[in-house]
Amino acid sequence: DAKTTQPNSMESNEEEPVHLPCNHSTISGTDYIHWYRQLPSQGPEYVIHGLTSNVNNRMASLAIAEDRKSSTLILHRATLRDAAVYYCISSNSGNTPLVFGKGTRLSVIA
């Protein structure tokens, strides 16, 4: 089972910021936090990952709580193309493959 907890669905207005939460209360000190997203009828797509510090890239920002028990994926300005299922995954430091949960389905309203 995935070791993260995400809301089943969220809704956002177009051109507004979106904060997608993820709880990973059992995360260990060496586990990374990964985010992927899956657009309709496509394979999953890497978004961002981090360990302790907040991370930014061209797609999104990842804010990691100081105790690392939760994190937030931030889309700074949602577009209709951001409508997708977003997966938060905490990796196993024992070097086993990522385990995808059911994710959060993000709807973006024009």
Partner 1 sequence: DAGITQSPRHKVTETGTPVTLRCHQTENHRYMYWYRQDPGHGLRLIHYSYGVKDTDKGEVSDGYSVSRSKTEDFLLTLESATSSQTSVYFCAISFEGLTGSEQYFGPGTRLTVT
Which of 6/12 has CB closer to partner 1?
A: 6
For the bound state, the minimum distance from the C-beta of residue 110 to partner 1, rounded and expressed in Å, comes to 27
What tokens appear for 56 in the block? 């930014």
Cα atoms in the 13 Å half-sphere on the side-chain side of 99? 13
List interacting residues with partner 1 (CB under 8 A). 31-32, 34, 36, 42-46, 49, 87, 91-93, 95-103
For the bound state, the minimum distance from the C-beta of residue 57 to partner 1, rounded and expressed in Å, comes to 11
Which of 17/34 has CB closer to partner 1?
A: 34
Q: What residues contact residue 35 under an 8 Å CB cut-off, 6+ apart?
A: 20, 22, 47, 48, 49, 60, 62, 73, 86, 87, 88, 89
Phi, psi (degrees; rounded to nearest 5) at 59: -90, -40
For the bound state, the minimum distance from the C-beta of residue 92 to partner 1, rounded and expressed in Å, comes to 6
Which of 1/66 has CB closer to partner 1?
A: 1
For the bound state, the minimum distance from the C-beta of residue 108 to partner 1, rounded and expressed in Å, comes to 21
